[in-house]
Amino acid sequence: MEQPKVFIYALSTCGHCKNTKRLLDSHNVSYDHVDVDLLPREEMKKVLEDVRKVNPQTSFPTILIGDKTIVGYREVEIMEALGL
């Protein structure tokens, strides 16, 4: 089965965001991510609008796996969404 597309909206300072990246790395899952806190202001605002559309609380990490959105470091849900 092909791996669904994975994208993480993260903060560079957040432990749960780092745990999410570590979990994916340990299972050789490829993903893209953005550390929102490091973005220039205008770009940050645009990205935050995108986060809010899938997670009204605009919290981190917000993880997109295929068409699913997972909010927070939820290992079981992440693995399920990946089919692992």
Partner 1 sequence: MSNAEEMYERLKKVNEPKGYFFSDNQALTMELIEGLLVNKERYGYMCCPCRLASGDRENDKDIICPCDYREQDVKEYGSCYCQLYVSKEWLENPESRRTVPERRPAEKMAWFGWPSGDA
Residues found near partner 1 in the complex (CB under 8 A): 11-19, 36-37, 41-42, 44-45, 48-49, 52, 56-60, 71-74
Closest distance to partner 1 from the beta carbon of 11 (Å) = 6
Closest distance to partner 1 from the beta carbon of 4 (Å) = 21
Nearer to partner 1, 5 or 45 (CB): 45
| DSSP state letters, the chain | -PPPPEEEEE-TT-HHHHHHHHHHHHTT---EEEEGGGS-HHHHHHHHHHHHHH-TT--S-EEEETTEEEES--HHHHHHHHT-
